[in-house]
Structure 1
Amino acid sequence: MEFVCPVCNIKNQHQLDFIIEEYVCSSCYNLIDVRQNKSRKQLPRQGSNVVLDTTKRGIIDGVEYFVVAVTCRNYANVAEWREYFLKDKDGNNAFLSESDGHWVFLKLQDEAFNEHRGYCDFKGKLYRHYETTPSSVSYLEGFFEDRVSFKVATYKEYVNGTEMVSWEQSGSGKVFFWGKHISKYKIKQQFLPNYMPSYQGIGIVQPFYVNIKQVAPIFVMTVLLMTLFQIFVTSNNNNKIVFDQRILYRDIFNKELITKSFSLEGASAPMQVKLATDVDNSWASIELSLVNEKTNEVTYATKDIEYYHGYESGESWSEGSKTEKFNLCGVAPGNYHFVIAAQKEKAPYIYNDVYISEDRSKSYVMTNDGFMDVIENPTGDKMAINLSNLENNNPVVFKELEAAKLFTKNNPSAVLSINEEETNTDFGITAEWLPVSYRNFVIIIIVILALGIGLYFLKGYFDTMKWKNSSNSPY
């Protein structure tokens, strides 16, 4: 359709052809009465944040709509919103309402809704009263089927989630609407505006960031499936000790020990390794390598075990531990063995290097570093003696040592093996395969609960802010 403005003689055209009462000239911004073909009112030339004009069209819910008119309304210069009049090729009307970057798609309703105190009932659904707002027109453009009223109009809005119903009254007549939230991204994609107004606050029918009704069943199903899976794993698998051995330090002195093979069956799971040795005011260091016999993949671990204790200022103290426990994570099924190396603070001794004095008051222990420990058996006091040129450097000790050697040779039963005299002669390694673990199950449950609680409080805050501008807020 086409109309020539009687004021400026500019053609005003639209793609659709329908009967109108008035139009706004796109050049001189006069409101033109079509029947009388004259200006009814001079209008402002620019509206605030108007992003769609009468050249735009787009598809909503499968129907192609054309923008035919634009109205800007305000309430006491406090709130302002824009209404875009839409029409399809069959002449059906619809509307887009935008306020603070939030969009609502509205349709006219032939039937009124039942209003009650604080809520209304429309087609079996309850809507809570949001606000009653008087407003006036501040800007117009486009083509209007009815005569434009510049009187103050009253709007009353009711909200249920992402839907709303409202009525508009200007004079004695009421017009009823049903509307729903529509994403600004859909508006941008379909109507191709030059820019989009920025978001401010939370829209009257803006949906929450996630759909709680969809997320809640997913959370419940996840917990249920995880529980069933955990029950299945627990009933079909057992944690078991796959390696348990005590090893003498002297057997791996300056060398490595390769253990017997052991097999792991099932899915990948952690292996818990426990090391134990009788350190007493001393330390031990154990190197452990887990070798996959098929892939030759090696997992290394080195652990220091220390335990010290004593008395200070009349009080006992201790630090460290005689055991060390750690996990090798994600160990795949297969055949494995350990490669072990270890050392401790005190070097191992050889049985024949111990000699006892005839009165059994002293022990002479030959170490492997060129020294000899002379131990006072009653007290345990120890003194290190250099064996180099002992006869000349310390003839007294040399004489005692020779006598002890002779006595020990003639009385072998008087000597205890050094392995019996020493307390820390070996260490233990226990490896437990843990296909049954509640760790991941508990972590997932905690995460789901945390997400659920977080979403609950976030939804509460969201709804509170959503009703912030309403004088009928339930929050």
Structure 2
Amino acid sequence: MNVPCFNCNTTTNLDVNFDVKTFACPNCVTVYKQTRDEGLKYANKFKPYSFDGKLKLGSIGTFDNKQYTITGLIVKSNEGYEWVEYVLQGKADDYLYLSESAGHWTLLEQIDFDKKVGNHPKTIDYENQVFHRFDWCFPKIEAAQGFFDFDIFDSAELIEYIKPPLVLSFDRLGREQTAFLGKYIEARKVKKAFGVSSIPVRRGIGMAQPFYLNVGNLAITLCVVALLILLSNWYLNKDRVANEVLNTGLDYQTYANKEFISPSFVLRGSAAPLTISLYSGVDNSWASVQVALVNEKTSEEVYASKDIEYYHGYSEGESWSEGSNSESFNLCGVPEGKYHLAITPSKAPEDVNTKSVQIKAVWSSPSMRNVWMIVIFMAVVIMGMFYADQYFENKRWEDSRN
């Protein structure tokens, strides 16, 4: 369809498959209305408006492998809030409607909806889903471009209900009601659909924008994972008992210049800490024990050392003491295998009274510490996502009249 604009002498050429009732010149935003005898006739002219950043009239976009052409776009506003509505015509005379507000996009299509919503009920049902009232208004037309099968100046009421990422939108003109079902669409998909690289930057939270993830599904998933971890840990270790692999006394003098090599021992089952307990009768002195756990199959060695210190005395009328004759430490996460211990004890050279150190090594049941740390971490994640979701929803509904 070729339409010349008598205001700016620009001719707009675009194939449309409907009877045009209103035409808005894309160059000078002069508006023409269809008349019975004279065809399109001058009706109005918008104030100058910059369409920079908007999708262009005549642009072709692909949705669900179908091509659609932008045949018209209308810029609307209400109480300082502005959005753009695009009419998309398909090759099979089907239509989609694309709405952009603050960089948030919604793709809509017309549906049949018999229930009237002029009284603005708080909720409405559609296809077994409950939608909540978000807002209603009589929007003002700021500018327009292209061809329309309706009078764009008709004062229609807009009523919107949401169940993110879905939205139900109603245009009411008198007793006539037109319903649209829409779904939030990511900006990158709009770019891909129209083959453009620049579109309005997203600001704030969109009316139908979904939260970044489904908190309910996340909670269920993490709870199931936590339960599986607890059950697996219980099953793998339900028959486990403490396994004492060494209990001996070592003479400091005998092992002053050599290592004590323990008998070999075999550990079977899931990884668990090897707890090494030490006792030496040091008195105002110290002793030290160095331990190496040697995997006899891989020759891998794990080293650890521990000091035993005990001091006491009497000062300023009061007795005092620090340290202990006993110490213990863990070699964490020791897996099954065949091992032996290489131990080197030592003591203070001036200590002639302390003769030996008692060493006991026990491979115990696996520590639940890591299991509970994982469970607690998942619980914290769920709580964090829950509060983030609540904050997200509160921000969404800040400007709503619900």
**TM-score by shorter chain over 0.5:** yes
Select which of 126, 144, 161 maps to 1:140: 144
Q: Where do 5+ consecutive residues of structure 2 fail to align?
A: none
| 1:86-112 CA distance string (max 9 Å, x none) | 121111222111111211222222323
What is the correspondence of 1:165-180 to structure 2 with a 5 Å cutoff? Answer: 165-171=168-174, 173-180=176-183
Higher deviation after alignment, 433-442 or 169-178: 169-178
Shift of 1:327: 2.0
1:113–1:434 CA distance, 2 compared to 1 (3 A) = farther
* CA shift digits 1:190-238 (9 cap, x unpaired): 1233412222221111111111232132122212211220221122433
Show the counterpart of 1:30.
30
Indicate the SS of the match to 2:289. strand
How far 1:17 moved relative to its partner?
Answer: 4.3
Say whether the 8 Å CA contact 1:130–1:158 is kept in structure 2.
yes
Report the CA distance between 1:71 and its aligned residue. 0.7
Say which of 127, 134, 138 aligns to 2:131: 127
2:305 equivalent to 1:302:
yes
> Could you say which residue in structure 2 is the equivalent of 1:275?
278
Deviation at 1:453, TM superposition (A): 1.4
The alpha carbon displacement at 1:427 in A equals 1.0
Aligned position for 1:153: 156
CA distance in 1 between partners of 2:225 and 2:65 (Å): 35
**Preserved contact between residue 74 and residue 135 of structure 1 (Cα < 8 Å):** yes
1:371-420, Cα deviation, whole Å (9 max, x unpaired):
xxxxxxxxxxxxxxxxxxxxxxxxxxxxxxxxxxxxxxxxxxxxxxxxxx
Calculate percent identity across the aligned residue pairs: 32
Q: For residues 326 and 116 of structure 2, what CA distance do their matches in structure 1 show? A: 77
The one-letter amino acid of 1:24's match is A
Is the CA contact (8 Å cut-off) linking 2:61 and 2:69 kept in structure 1? yes
C-alpha distance in 1 between matches for 2:363 and 2:237: 13
State the Cα distance separating 1:445 from its structure 2 match.
1.1
Partner Cα distance (1:289, 1:124) in 2: 67
Q: 1:15 to 1:214 in 2, by over 3 A?
A: farther
Matched residue, 1:468: 398
Bigger shift: residues 14-23 or 426-435 = 14-23
SS of equivalent residue, structure 1 residue 54? coil
Aligned residue runs from structure 1 range 74-473, under 5 A = 74-76=77-79, 78-113=80-115, 115=117, 117-149=121-153, 151-171=154-174, 173-346=176-349, 422=353, 424-472=354-402
- Match for residue 352 of structure 1? none
Contact 1:242 1:432 in 2 (8 A): yes
Q: Structure 1 CA distance, aligned partners of 2:252 and 2:351?
A: 7
* Amino acid corresponding to residue 140 of structure 2 in structure 1: S
Say which of 57, 76, 79 aligns to 1:73: 76
Cα displacement (A) at 1:31? 2.4
Please tell me the residue identity of whatever aligns with 1:180. K
CA offset digits 1:118-168 (Å, max 9, x no partner): 22233443222212222110011122122321x543222222232222222
- Which residue matches 1:13? 13
Following the alignment from structure 1 to structure 2, what is the Cα–Cα distance between the partners of residues 42 and 327? 83
Greater helix content: 1
CA displacement at 1:332 relative to structure 2: 3.4
Amino acid at match of 2:92: D
Whole-angstrom distance in 2 between the partners of 1:309 and 1:68: 93
What secondary structure is seen at the aligned counterpart in 2 of 1:242?
A: strand
Could you tell me how far 1:435 is from its partner in structure 2? 5.0
Q: Which residue of 2 aligns with 1:359?
A: none
Conserved in 2, the CA contact under 8 Å of 1:306 and 1:320? yes
Deviation digits for residues 438-461 of structure 1, max 9, x if unmatched? 122211110111111112222221
**Could you tell me how far 1:55 is from its partner in structure 2?**
3.2
Q: Answer whether contact 1:51 1:194 (CA < 8 A) is retained.
A: no
How far the C-alpha of 1:172 sits from its partner, in A, is 5.1
How far apart in 2 are the matches of 1:211 and 1:49?
36
**Higher CA-based Rg:** 1
Match of 2:361, as an amino acid? A
| CA positional deviation for 1:114 | 5.2
AA in 1 matched with 2:125 = D
Equivalent AA in structure 2 for residue 69 of structure 1: G
Given that residues 246 and 262 in structure 2 are in contact (C-alpha distance below 8 angstroms), is that contact kept between their aligned partners in structure 1? no
- How far, CA to CA, are the matches of 2:135 and 2:239 in structure 1? 61
Correspondence for 1:370 = none
Give the letter aligned to residue 111 of structure 2. Q
| Superposed displacement of residue 275, structure 1 | 2.1
Distance 2:88 2:107 in 1: 10
Shift in Å at residue 465 of structure 1? Answer: 1.1
TM-score, with normalisation over the residues of structure 2?
0.90
The answer to whether the Cα contact below 8 Å between 1:6 and 1:38 also exists between their aligned partners in 2 is no
Cα pair distance change 1:48/1:2, threshold 3 Å: closer
- Superposed CA RMSD in Å reads 2.4
- Alignment deviations for residues 37-96 of structure 1 (CA, whole Å, 9 cap, x no partner): 4433333453466421223233334543322211110113x2111111112111122211
CA distance in 1, matches of 2:336, 2:303: 17
Unaligned residue ranges in structure 1 (runs of 5+): 350-421
Name the TM-score, length of structure 1 as normaliser.
0.77
